[in-house]
A = this chain, B = another copy of it.
Amino acid sequence: MSDTLRLGIAGLGTVGVGVLRIIRQQAALLEARTGRKISVSAVSARTRDRDRGVSLKGYDWEDDPVTLATRDDVDVFVELMGGSDGPAKAATEAALKAGKHVVTANKAMLAIHGQALAELAEAQGLSLRYEAAVAGGIPVVKTLLEGLAGNGITRVMGVMNGSCNYILTRMESAGQTYQDIFAEADALGYLEADPQLDVGGIDAAHKLAILSSIAFGAQVDFHGIQLEGIERVTIEDIRAAADMGYKIKLLGVAQKTGRGLEQRMQPCLVPDSSPLGQLDGGTNMVVLEGDAVGQIVLRGAGAGEGPTASAVMADVCDIARGVWLPVFGQPATTLVQAKSAQSKTPAPYYLRMALVDKPGALAKIATVLGEAGVSINRMRQYEHDAASAPVLIVTHRTIPADLERAIAAMDGTGVMAGAPVALRIEEV
């Protein structure tokens, strides 16, 4: 265990630079904790001559990440390029085939190709670790894989895209529209080059798919996620939800049901006094529920140089210490292909609608809801000047199909001024 552990790092963006910084500045600490020196043999990135604020002196340069990944003097290939396919996947596969451990921050690659990569790594007896792929600096992968290994996991929830949470909390505090705050976030550089990865919920869904696999012993199934972004969240709904005691969050939820594995990433209401409701700005939060442990909440920075590099280094330290685990917590060949269940789990719902201002309008809506089996928990009609009256309803637990039936029937009542908004209220 006293040999030096030698890394090859592909990708020198924010995270790669952060990893180099830790390896240099904490050399003594890392050696004390792992019993080994940790060194960098070679690096690779798209452009060689760029001021990254950190010197690359002492590291060999490789133009081709595949060549880097398979060098004789590399024990661990650190993949920080990103992208589900292309060079990241090619170099990861090459590294594993060449007998190198892999540490990656690549959520897209794992969400799409996790099963095949895990099988490859395990067949080779190698580590494939990815703490940095989910929720940045929060050690949630380790917590699920190891810390809660004695639990049957019942539900995993999380706010795992800081940009979306920033937009939603900033809409509320500034009282501005989605379009305005989106533009502001984009100008501040908070969004991915393709912002749809953030606001469309795709990035967060990648993370949820990975956590689901660990939690439920299932093959990663990104395409089984019921996915909706935050583009349709309005300032009106944020205000109305607040008035009823809720916050709107882009919330990922995975739970095993009698019908299969339910995975959702969608705007949901959560109580404003809950830890999730109190999560402002770019911070991430993951809630893990186990049959023995109850509820564990983890909160921390979901992105950024230091936090993400911290997660990469946790994986590197584990490998240096000789820790080996199956990639998703149990051998990949034993992971089941879970049946994907679209949400049939009953939940309370938030309904916002505008009713034509004439006698009996509210009664008609209440009747339609009742006939569909949707029971009203709370209802508010607001004072208004316009021709239509704003109405908010919080339902009791409702089967989604019943709600859909009720909404379809509302259309025929003749008292709706526009389509209603329906959002799930997640019971946290």
Give the docked Cα–Cα distance between A148 and B26 (Å): 12
Number of interface residues of A (CB under 8 A): 59
Q: Is residue A67 within 8 Å, beta carbon to beta carbon, of the partner chain? A: no
Select from chain B the residue with minimum beta-carbon distance to A309.
Answer: B292
B148 with A310: CB separation less than 8 A: yes
Contact in complex: B138, A142 (CB < 8 Å): no
Taking a contact as CB atoms under 8 Å apart, the answer to whether A146 and B300 are in contact is no
Give chain A's interface secondary structure class.
mixed
Among the listed stretches A27-35, A257-265, A353-361, which one makes contact with chain B, having 4 or more residues with CB under 8 Å of it?
A: A27-35
Residue of B18, B293, B298, B331 near A296 (CB, 8 A) is B298
Contacts of A143 in B (CB 8 A): 139, 142-143, 147
Chain B residues contacting A325 (CB-CB under 8 Å) are 321, 323
A319-344 residues at the B interface, CB under 8 angstroms: 321-325, 329-331, 334
Cβ of A296 and Cβ of B138 under 8 Å apart?
A: yes
Q: A175: CB under 8 A from chain B?
A: no
A-B contact pairs, 8 of them (CB 8 A): A22-B150, A32-B334, A131-B147, A139-B296, A148-B310, A294-B307, A322-B324, A323-B323
Given A142-B147, A149-B313, A323-B323; 6 other pairs, CB 8 A cutoff? A26-B151, A139-B142, A273-B278, A290-B310, A292-B309, A293-B307
Q: Interface of A with B (CB < 8 Å)?
A: 18, 22, 26, 29-30, 32-35, 131, 137-139, 142-143, 146-152, 217, 273, 275, 278, 290-301, 304, 306-307, 309-314, 316-318, 321-325, 329-331, 334
